[in-house]
């Protein structure tokens, strides 16, 4: 029979005496002390009256831990922050936090409360937390950061005079007027117009007269060809009336259209106002007065026209006339 060597606590000397007698009787011997953990070595283990060994005999806790007694031959170590184990013998370890793409981890200690830093390689910027700390739970605080490419504009991806703005993992092109698209390579510039005339009013002597106006001009800043159309020529013979003139410039490369629209009114030269005679009344038409006037004279009661004048005489201005007839 082999007995583990045990050291008695107060009140158990009789048990050890009996064990000693049995040893001498059967020729047994004691083996060297076998510890359950490093802390039981320092407190030397224990035995109860039945000779059982107890692992949690220690009253000496490591690394600043305090022993909490729960009863005879039983208790536990209350460990300080950063340590775990029956005897507070083990420091909390989070392990290597893991590599990040296009970056590196700076730090060689991965135990409780230690901090690691993150850095990105050239042309990459860090997104997220630049440092992480080992926590009591044995895990790293926060999430791993990422290294995002931040030098897209070096390759000049934006076209047609656009400004490139770098972002983290992306870039944007700020287009100048007339361009759009991710690279500012889509032409949305319509034809540019100058010199579109305002509305015109022409007074003429003849029923049909030649009318002219300055034509507008159309250009394309992108130097592409334009198709320019108009419903009237710049110099044209027009009768009295109202006319809408339209110029349309179309850019075949993108379908953009620019229009110039104005109105022309052609009227006969106006006549001077016809005055009513003394003691008489002038009666004229009240419609289409910009084309012609038709008037009659009559006298007030008790008055008469001189000899040679006819009450039925119409006085007409306009049409082919330039004055009242």
**pLDDT score recorded for residue 26:** 56
Q: Would the pLDDT of 159 be above 80?
A: yes
| pTM of the shown model | 0.53
Residues β-bridged to residue 281: 298
Model confidence at 209, pLDDT cuts 50, 70, 90, reads: very high
Average pLDDT, the chain: 82
The answer to which of 12-21, 48-57, 202-211 has the lowest mean pLDDT is 48-57
Task: Name 306's Cβ contacts closer than 8 Å, sequence gap at least 6.
Answer: none
Residue of higher predicted confidence among 170 and 249: 249
What domains are there in the chain, each with its CATH number?
2-85 (no CATH), 103-149 (2.10.70.10), 152-187 (2.10.25.10), 192-268 (2.60.40.10), 270-325 (2.10.70)
Question: In this structure, how many other beta carbons lie within 10 angstroms of the beta carbon of residue 137?
Answer: 10
Q: Would the pLDDT of 1 be above 70?
A: no
**pLDDT score recorded for residue 57:** 45
107 vs 119: CA distance, rounded Å: 11
Render pLDDT for 219-238 as a digit per residue (tens, 0 to 9): 999 999 999 999 999 889 99
Q: Would the pLDDT of 46 be above 50?
A: no
The answer to which of 53-62, 119-128, 157-166 has the lowest mean pLDDT is 53-62
Relative to beta strand 29-31, strand 2-4 is: parallel
Secondary structure (H, E, C), the chain: CEEECCCCCCCCHHHHHHHHHHHHHHCCEEECCCCCCHHHHHHCCCECCCCCECCCCCCCCCCCCEEEEEECCEEEEECCCCEECCCCCEECECCCCCCCCCEEEECCCCECCCEEEEEECCCEEEECCCEEEECCCCCECCCCCEEEECCHHHHCCCCCCCEEEECCCCEEEECCCCEECCCCCEECCCCEEECCCCCEEEEECCCEEEEECCCCEEECCCCCCCEEEECCCCEEEEECEEEEEEEEEEECCCCEEEEEEEEEEEEECCCCCCCCCCCEEEEECCCCCCCEEEEEEEECCCCCCCCCCCCCCCEEEECCCCCCC
- Answer for the pair 251, 279: CB distance below 8 angstroms, yes or no: no
If you average pLDDT over residues 238-246, what whole number do you get? Answer: 95
**pLDDT score recorded for residue 169:** 83
**pLDDT score recorded for residue 319:** 55
Render pLDDT for 259-312 as a digit per residue (tens, 0 to 9): 999 999 998 888 777 888 889 888 888 777 777 778 888 899 988 888 888 888
39 vs 76: CA distance, rounded Å: 11
């Amino acid at each position: 029979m082999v007995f583990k060597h045990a050291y008695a606590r107060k009140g158990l000397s009789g048990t050890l005496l009996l064990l000693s007698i049995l040893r001498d009787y059967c020729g047994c011997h004691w083996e060297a002390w076998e510890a359950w953990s490093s802390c039981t070595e320092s407190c030397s283990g224990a035995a109860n009256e039945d000779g059982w060994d107890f692992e949690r005999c220690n009253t000496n806790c490591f690394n600043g831990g305090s022993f909490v007694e729960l009863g005879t031959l039983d208790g536990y170590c209350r460990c300080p922050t950063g340590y775990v184990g029956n005897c507070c013998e083990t420091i909390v370890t989070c392990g290597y936090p893991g590599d990040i793409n296009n970056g590196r981890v700076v730090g060689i200690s991965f135990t409780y409360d230690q901090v690691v830093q993150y850095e990105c390689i050239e042309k990459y910027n860090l997104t997220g937390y630049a440092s992480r700390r080992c926590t009591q739970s044995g895990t790293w605080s926060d999430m791993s950061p990422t290294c995002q490419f931040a030098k897209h504009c070096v390759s000049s991806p934006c076209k047609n005079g656009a400004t490139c703005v770098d972002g983290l993992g992306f870039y944007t092109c700020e287009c100048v007027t007339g361009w759009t698209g991710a690279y500012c390579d889509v032409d949305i510039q319509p034809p540019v117009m100058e010199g579109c005339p305002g509305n015109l009013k022409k007074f003429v002597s003849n029923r049909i007269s030649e009318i002219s106006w300055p034509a507008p001009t159309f250009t394309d800043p992108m130097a592409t060809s334009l198709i320019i159309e108009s419903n009237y020529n710049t110099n044209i013979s027009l009768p009295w009336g109202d006319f809408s003139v339209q110029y349309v410039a179309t850019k075949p490369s993108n379908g953009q259209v620019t229009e110039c629209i104005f109105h022309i009114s052609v009227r006969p030269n106006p006549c001077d106002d016809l005055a009513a005679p003394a003691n008489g009344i002038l009666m004229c038409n009240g419609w289409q007065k910009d084309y012609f006037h038709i008037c009659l004279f009559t006298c007030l009661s008790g008055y008469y026209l001189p000899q040679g004048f006819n009450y039925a005489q119409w006085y007409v201005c306009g049409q082919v006339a330039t004055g009242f007839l």
